[in-house]
Amino acid sequence: MMDTTKVRQSTQKLEAEVIDEYGRMVELLDRMSNSAHELSSLPPYLLEGLLPLERKMGLVLTLFKASVWSVLVQKQRESENRQR
């Protein structure tokens, strides 16, 4: 019983941390979206100078997705190893 309670508490704490991180990520994405909206109203010649930034942002997003995928795969493997 004691182990189950500890596991539950640990899981709840971890879930709260993950939710907090998602909240921070939402705030950052909102700020990025607002910045992108402001930038979209700039004259075309200024926008052309932003193409390299757009490519870099795309790369960051790709790396973020890969990192999340890697963490999920790692957790799944750890879970499978514990079940064996």
Per-residue pLDDT tens digits for 48-79: 888 898 899 999 999 999 999 999 999 999 98
Nearest to 57, CA basis, from 79, 23, 29: 29
Could you give the dihedral angle defined by the CA atoms of residues 36, 37, 43 and 47, in that order, rounded to the nearest 10 degrees? Answer: 20
Read off φ and ψ for residue 50, nearest 5 degrees.
-90, -5
N-term to C-term CA, the chain: 22
Q: Is the pLDDT of residue 27 over 80?
A: yes
pLDDT on residue 1: 54
Q: Is the pLDDT of residue 83 over 60?
A: yes
- Answer yes or no: are the C-beta atoms of 39 and 50 closer than 8 Å: yes
pLDDT on residue 44: 82
More confident residue, 2 or 65: 65
